[in-house]
């Protein structure tokens, strides 16, 4: 499978715990994005990497959230001290720099905070 | 606040009919426009993108863009029950690379 992959697919955690999600983009894609989607809403942008550089962050990305993309390959999104409001689908997408920014999404990680 | 607006629906059409989905956007400098299909519980799937005024056709799908009116539409010809899903309109603004999504329109195709 050469598409975007995300792990885990589901995560249930208790409030206050830390969680980490992983995204593996399409292999030749140098741009990687994280979005969050709640029920009945479109995905909302969180952050964006071009290769290993984090170039853009949304105001939605509070200081409890951190994302990395070491060596410009896979990326991780960590949420510290989770809150019930963090419950959502976390989506990763990737695209090619030399394109019209067509972004291809992974299957997502569904987070439930109890 | 840059926004993308869609009618939430549901839009109901009989099998074989044309489904017309509409989207307006507020950032006049927006460059690229995308339609994604999302089945319940799944992630968005890219079905069309358009960046210049006019029509772009791909199989049963036609995307239409009118930058002067800040309007994007998606036509689905010969609608099938398998087309029943939520259709998300997304825009890339002039200033960034992130997609700005609408809330989506739910399409229901009855057989």
Q: What are phi and psi of A21, to 5 degrees?
A: -115, 150
Residue B100 is predicted with a pLDDT of 95
User: Tens digit of pLDDT for each residue in A72-102?
Assistant: 899 999 999 999 999 999 999 999 987 788 9
Residues of B with CB under 8 A from a CB of A: 4, 31-32, 34, 36, 42-46, 49, 51, 88, 90, 92, 96-104
Position B56 confidence tier, pLDDT thresholds 50, 70, 90: very high
- Pair of tokens at residue A39: 């029920």
State the Cα–Cα distance between residues B21 and A83, nearest whole angstrom: 36
Residue A2 is predicted with a pLDDT of 75
Distance between terminal CA atoms of chain A?
A: 33
Whether residue B102 has pLDDT greater than 80: yes
Position A1 confidence tier, pLDDT thresholds 50, 70, 90: low
Q: What is the mean pLDDT of residues B90-106?
A: 90
Whether residue B29 has pLDDT greater than 60: yes
Q: Give, in order, the Cα–Cα distances in Å from B104 to each of A5, A26, B44, B85.
A: 24, 26, 11, 10
| Residue carrying the six token digits 């074989």 | B16
- Pair of tokens at residue B39: 């089945």
Closest residue of B to A94, CA-based? B98
Q: What is the mean pLDDT of residues B65-70?
A: 96
Q: What are phi and psi of A111, to 5 degrees?
A: -105, 130
Residue A71 is predicted with a pLDDT of 87
Residue B1 is predicted with a pLDDT of 63
Q: B7 CB contacts (<8 Å, ≥6 apart)?
A: B22, B105
- Beta carbons of A35 and A41 less than 8 angstroms apart: no
Closest residue of A to B101, CA-based? A42
Provide the percentage of residues in chain B whose pLDDT is more than 90: 88
User: Tens digit of pLDDT for each residue in B5-25?
Assistant: 999 889 999 999 999 999 999
Closest residue of B to A96, CA-based? B97
Partner residue opposite B43 with nearest CB, options A44, A45, A106? A106
Residues of chain A contacting residue B101, judged by C-beta atoms under 8 Å apart: 42-44
Instruction: Give the residue, B56 or A72, on which the prediction is more confident.
Output: B56
What integer best gives the mean pLDDT of chain B? Answer: 94
State the Cα–Cα distance between residues B73 and B57, nearest whole angstrom: 12
A48·B51 Cβ contact <8 A? no
- Beta carbons of B49 and B64 less than 8 angstroms apart: no
Whether residue B70 has pLDDT greater than 70: yes
Low-confidence winner among A59-63, B49-53, B77-81, B105-109 (lowest mean pLDDT): A59-63
Residue A99 is predicted with a pLDDT of 77
């Amino acid at each position: 499978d050469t598409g975007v992959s995300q792990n885990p697919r589901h995560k249930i955690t208790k409030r206050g715990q830390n969680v980490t999600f992983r995204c593996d983009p399409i292999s030749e894609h140098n741009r990687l994005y994280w979005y969050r989607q709640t029920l009945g809403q479109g995905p909302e942008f969180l952050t964006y990497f071009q290769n290993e550089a984090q170039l853009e962050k949304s105001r939605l990305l509070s200081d409890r959230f951190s994302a990395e993309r070491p060596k410009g390959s896979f990326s991780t999104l960590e949420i510290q001290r989770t809150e019930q409001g963090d419950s959502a689908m976390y989506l990763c997408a990737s695209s090619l720099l030399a394109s019209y920014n067509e972004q291809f999404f992974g299957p997502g990680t569904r987070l439930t905070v109890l | 606040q840059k926004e993308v607006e869609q009618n939430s629906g549901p839009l109901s059409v009989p099998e074989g009919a044309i489904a017309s989905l509409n989207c307006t956007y507020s950032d006049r400098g927006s460059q690229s426009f995308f339609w994604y299909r999302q089945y319940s519980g799944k992630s968005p799937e890219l079905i069309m993108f358009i960046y210049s005024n006019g029509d772009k056709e791909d199989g049963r799908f036609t995307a239409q863009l009118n930058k002067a009116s800040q309007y994007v539409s998606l036509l689905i010809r010969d609608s099938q029950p398998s087309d029943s899903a939520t259709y998300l309109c997304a825009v890339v603004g002039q200033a960034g690379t992130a997609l700005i999504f609408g809330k989506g329109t739910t399409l229901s195709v009855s057989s």
